[in-house]
Structure 1
């Protein structure tokens, strides 16, 4: 992200965020690079986390989870891990429902949903553009490694999101607005 975006997201002054970014870059937690602007102007300086920052973000005990799921698979069959995780996603859906319930519009519900996920160790925020409509960009998922091993869980989680938001959600992985790979959740309708 660029400093103005970070400043808005963190509700801090531009200079306060800039000082933190400079210090984090000196410590090796973030890396800065310049991206040419599409229109006229100086290149924009963007910051992204380095591998050194990985321990600062929760991973959901991935090693333990994968080991347990493998034991469940060996003991009860190939479909057992996904059946077990279905209950986890049902619980998550119920928490999401609580978070989005006060929202009056779908945009407000999706924004509350993204905020709830961010509080639980994800890093996501909402966007809108004319071409794609309303969507959520997610840059960190604590269960990413579990999803790599059990890809059907992505569809399961997306279905639970649809149930929580009450609309169609399409999941895609690609470069996000900050030029790095992320997961995009397109919100199907705004009605």
Structure 2
């Protein structure tokens, strides 16, 4: 087999770098929401001009779009955001299979059967989380571990400390979104699990919800 020429190897390398950069842009827009080219460039350590080239290429693939925002000086800024087509880059939790199973359970056993299924699932999930929480005594330790668990499950989770002493648990992606849309009990059970895992000395409330049309799910956690 003939060896690749230096030109071919350079082309492959450039193509790989280009794809990595565009995937990083998609990841940042998923994580942070709407961003302009300058902010993306700062995150990526490249020029705003280079970022714009990638942004327009991603737009041509219908993966991102933008809205203009007026600025005090100069032209309006383009704030870039993902389109629904970009969902394919993130885990979907086998949406079609899950929906089919949920509908089958409802048809076979009714709403009571579906509620029972959610109870069993929640019990198993809570047992798993508590097992992984061993040795995590402080709220901050438990939150960090919960973020690790949820990120591993595909939720792109993070936690932010707030000025008032509370915390914001953020999930930038929902791998079970399709299932949660038709079975709202899934979201209700997750809120109960978070409360159980973090302890009775905290109050948790959902303040943003993907199912309600927002970009992410977010939970305010207030220590008592």
Asked if the contact 2:118–2:189 (Cα under 8 Å) also holds between the matched residues in 1, the reply is no
Q: Which residue in 2 is equivalent to 1:161?
A: 194
In structure 2, C-alpha distance between the alignment counterparts of 1:174 and 1:82, rounded to whole Å:
22
In structure 2, C-alpha distance between the alignment counterparts of 1:41 and 1:65, rounded to whole Å:
50
Find the residue that maps to 2:91 and give its secondary structure: coil
In structure 2, C-alpha distance between the alignment counterparts of 1:133 and 1:70, rounded to whole Å:
39
Q: Which residue in 2 is equivalent to 1:170?
A: 205
In structure 1, C-alpha distance between the alignment counterparts of 2:165 and 2:69, rounded to whole Å:
23
**Could you report, residue by residue, the CA deviation over 1:33-87 in whole angstroms, capped at 9, with x for unpaired residues?**
66678xx999887553332321111111122212211111121121211211222
TM-score with structure 1 setting the length: 0.72
Report deviation, 1:184. Answer: 1.4
Normalized per residue, the structure richer in helix is 2
Aligned residues: 179
* 1:100–1:155 distance in 2 versus 1, CA, 3 Å: same
The question of 1:14 aligning with 2:49 is answered no
Structure showing greater radius of gyration is 2
More divergent stretch after superposition (94-103 vs 132-141): 94-103
In structure 2, C-alpha distance between the alignment counterparts of 1:55 and 1:70, rounded to whole Å:
23
Partner residue of 1:88 out of 103, 121, 133? 121
* 1:64–1:109 distance in 2 versus 1, CA, 3 Å: same
Normalized per residue, the structure richer in strand is 1
- The 5 A counterparts of 1:60-75 are 60-75=93-108
